[in-house]
Chains A and B, each alone.
Chain A
Amino acid sequence: MAADTSQSVAKAAGDDVENDVAARGRSRRTDSDPTDRGGKGASGLRRALATHWYAWAMVAPVVLVLGVIIGWPLVRGIYLSLTDANERNVSRTIGVRHIEATYEFVGLDNYVAVLGDPVFLQRLVWTVMWTVACVSITFTLGLALANMLNRDFRGRAAYRMALILPWAVPGFVSVFAWRFLFNRDNGILNKILDGGGIAAIPWLDDPTWAKFSVVAVNVWLGVPFMMVALLGGLQSIPGELYEAAEMDGASAWQRFRHITLPGLRAVSMTVILLSTIWTFNMFPVIFLLTRGGPGDSTEILVTQAFREAFVSSPRDFAGSATWGVLILALLMIFALVYRRSLRKQGEVW
C-alpha cells in the first residue's frame, strides 16, 4: 500500500519549486516562508490564515483522520509499551459489567526484557536475512525478466500477462495455493519429486526448508511488481543512447552496465526501498504459510509482535507494543540511513 509513495518520494524535493510557482495566484511568497512569519505574531498569523485558509481547509479532513486514528493510537501504543498491560488487566466489558484497567506504568522494563532476551537477536537476524534474500532475489529476477520483455517479439503480451498473474491474485489466496503445493504428504511438489524417485522434502516442516519456502513464496509474489516497475524504467531510457554505444563498439554487457543500469537508478532506488519496507513488514506470507513455525524458526519481527498479543496466552499487549515500537524504530533508522546514502550520491529524494 505504500506503493504510491514511490513517485512522490522521488520527486518531493523537486516539486516544491513547482508548487511555489503553481501557488503564485493567491499566496505571496513571503507568506509561504515560515521563517518570515515567525516574528510577526498575531497579525502574521491572521495574514497567513487569510492567505492559506483554503489550503488548510482542504487538508483538514486528512489531518483530523491522521491525528485521531493514527496519531492517538501511536501515542497510546508507545505508552502501552511502558506498562504491564495484558489481557487480564486492560479495561474490558464482559456482558454488562465493565471492568476498569488496572495495569501500571513500569518504565522501560519491557524494553530491557525484550532486548535482553536472545530471542530478539534471533528474530532480528532472521528478519534481516529474510528481507535481504527476498529483496535481492526479487530485484534480480525482476530486472532479468523486465529486460527480456522490453523488446518486440511474438507472444510478448502473453508472457507479460502470465508473469503478472501472481500480482493480480490477492496475496493471501496465493499463499494458500502455495501451502497446498508444499503439503508434505499430498502436495504436488512432493508427488512430482516422488515420481522422479526423490524422497519427499519437508517444505514447511523443517526449519531450513521452511525458511527456503517462505522466501520462495515471497519472491514469487514480489517479482511482478518489480518487473513491471523496472519495465517502465527501461522504456524511459532513450534508444539513441544504445545506438550511440553500439556505434562506439560497446558490447552487450557494456551497454547493460553503462546505460541500462544507470538509467534504471532512480526507479531501482524507489522500488528497492519500497520492497524492503514491505518485506520487512510482510505479515501474511509468514503467518499464513508457517505461522512462524516449525517451532519459531520462520518468525519475523512483525509476526512475533502479533503472536505476543493475539496468539500466545495470556495475551501480552505491553510486550507486543514494545516489539512494535522497536520495529518502527528500526525502520526509521533504515529509512534515514538510506536517504542519507542517496543524498551523498547526489540523489534528490
Chain B
Amino acid sequence: MSTANTAATTTADKATAGKQTAGKATAGKSTTRARGSRSPLASVGLHATLVVASVIAVFPVLWIVLTSLKPAKHAITTDFVKEPTLGNYTYLLEQSHFLSWFANSVLVAGVTTVLGVFIAATTGYAVSRFKFPGMRPLMWTLLITQMFPMAILIVPLYNLMGDLGLLNQPLGLIITYLTIAVPFCAWMMKGFFDTIPVEIDESGRVDGLNPFGTFWRLILPLAKPGLAVTGFYAFITAWGEVAYASAFMVGEENLTLAGGLQTFVTQYTSNWGAMSAASVLIAIPAAIFFVFAQRHLVAGMTAGATKG
C-alpha cells in the first residue's frame, strides 16, 4: 500500500471533521472498510473542501482575466462576460507605455538571471565539493544576506546609484538585483551540485582534469536542469520585485512592470480595464514557466529538509 493511500486515510477522516474522527478514535481497527478507501461521506467532504479552496485560489485570477475582456466602461460590473472585446489590450499596447515597461523588465530580469547564475555557479560547486578555510563563514554570509530586509540596503544603494548616475537606468536595477540573486543562486546551486555523485569528480581527476576542468566539462553539463531552475527562480524574483523598482525608477517610460502597473490605479484614476489586461500579459509568461519548473523547484528547495 502506497504512502499516498495510507496518509490519505488519515486525512479523509480529518476532512470530514469531528464526527468521523471521533468515531474512529474509539472504533479503532474494528472499522470494516478497506484501508485506503473512503466512506461516501468522507469523499464528499474531501471534494467539497478542495472545491471551495480551489475556487478561492482561482477566482481572483479568473476575475482579472474576465475583467480584461470587458469594455472599459463595464469593467466594474459583476457580469462574468459582457460584450467581450480585446479593446483593453489594444489600448494597452498602442496607447500606454506597457511595451517599454515589458522590455525594461525583460532586460533587467534577464541580465540579472544570467549574471547571477554565471557568477554563482563556481561558488556553488566549490562549497558543495571542497572543504577550505573560509567556507563556513562564506556559507553563513550567503545565508544571512538572504535574510536581509531590503530596508537596510535600499538607502545606501539609492545614494550609490545616484552618485554613479545609474538611477533610472536598467543597469542600476540590475546591480541592485544582484544583491538578491547572487547569494540565492549560490545556495540553490550548491543544493543541485550536492545531488551529483562525487564519483564523477573523481573519475575526472583520474583522467587528469584539474578541478576547473572537472567542473566545466563534467559537472556543469550534468547540472543543467539545476541551473535552469535556479535561473528561472532568479528571473521570477526580479520580474516581481516591487520596492527597489518603485524607488529607483521614475518617469513613465523608465518603469518596469511592477512600477508601471501601479500607474493604472492611483488615488486619482482607476483604469481597471487596462490594469487587468496588463496583469494578464504579465502573468502569462511567468505562469507558463512556473508550470514547467514547479516540480523541480519544489524538490530543489526542500530536498535537504525532507531528507533530514
Contacts and interface: CB of A to CB of B under 8 A. Distances in A.
B298 A229 contact: yes
B151 A58 contact: no
Interface stretch (A114-122, A130-138, A233-241): A233-241
Interface stretch (B83-91, B95-103, B141-149): B141-149
A77 B60 contact: no
A163 B243 contact: no
Interface residues of A, number: 145
B154 A309 contact: yes
Contacts of B143: 5, 8-9, 12
Contacts of A19: 128-131, 135
A252 B21 contact: yes
Contact of A7 (B61, B156, B303): B303
B32 interface: no
Contact of B156 (A22, A77, A260, A288): A77
A183 B67 CA distance: 14
A11 interface: yes
A323 to B, nearest CB: 6
Nearest to A247: B29
Nearest to B123: A62
A150 B306 CA distance: 15
Interface residues of B, number: 143
A184 B28 CA distance: 51
Contacts of A48: 133
Contacts of B242: 171-172, 283-284, 287-288
A214 interface: no
A344 interface: no
A283 B150 contact: yes
State the majority secondary structure of interface residues on A.
helix
Contacts of B54: 159, 162-163
B243 A91 contact: no
A228 B301 CA distance: 11
B155 A77 contact: yes
Interface in A64-103: 65-66, 69-70, 72-74, 76-77, 80, 90-93
Contact of B301 (A4, A76, A163, A234): A4
A170 B239 contact: yes
B286 A168 contact: yes
A4 B126 contact: no
Nearest to B259: A172
A3 interface: yes
B187 A55 contact: no
Given A59-B123, A239-B1, A288-B262, A54 B211 contact: yes
Contact of B146 (A5, A167, A176, A266): A5
A251 B28 contact: yes
A212 to B, nearest CB: 15
Contacts of B205: 25
A292 interface: no
B35 interface: yes
B30 to A, nearest CB: 9
A147 B126 CA distance: 38
A297 interface: no
B165 A93 contact: yes
B237 interface: yes
B223 to A, nearest CB: 14
Contacts, number: 456
B64 A70 contact: no
A228 B2 contact: no
A148 to B, nearest CB: 5
A320 interface: yes
B151 A148 contact: no
B258 interface: yes
A327 B154 CA distance: 13
Which of B14, B53, B261 has the most chain A CB atoms closer than 10 A to its own CB?
Answer: B53
A180 B4 CA distance: 39
A147 B134 contact: no
Max chain B Cβ within 10 angstroms of own Cβ: one of A91, A179, A321: A321
Contacts of B184: 1-5
Interface in A206-238: 220, 223-224, 228-229, 232-238
Contacts of B7: 147, 150-151, 234, 237, 239, 242, 260
B185 to A, nearest CB: 8
B191 A302 contact: no
Contacts of B168: none
Interface in A330-344: 331-332, 335
A181 B283 CA distance: 18
B180 A6 contact: no
Nearest to B30: A249
Contacts of A161: 291
B275 interface: yes
Contact of B305 (A10, A149, A280): A10
B153 A73 contact: yes
Contact of B147 (A2, A162, A284): A2
Interface string A243-264: 1001101111111100010000
A7 B304 contact: yes
A317 interface: yes
Contacts of B147: 2, 277, 328, 331-332, 335
Given A3-B233, A22-B129, A59-B123, A254 B298 contact: no
Given A232-B299, A242-B6, A335-B144, 15 more contacts: A4-B188, A4-B301, A8-B187, A10-B304, A54-B211, A62-B182, A90-B159, A148-B11, A159-B50, A180-B265, A188-B78, A252-B14, A254-B25, A288-B242, A302-B151
Those 3 A-B pairs whose CB atoms lie nearest each other, nearest first: A151-B8, A7-B304, A4-B188
6 contacts: A4-B187, A52-B130, A61-B120, A144-B14, A152-B36, A306-B243
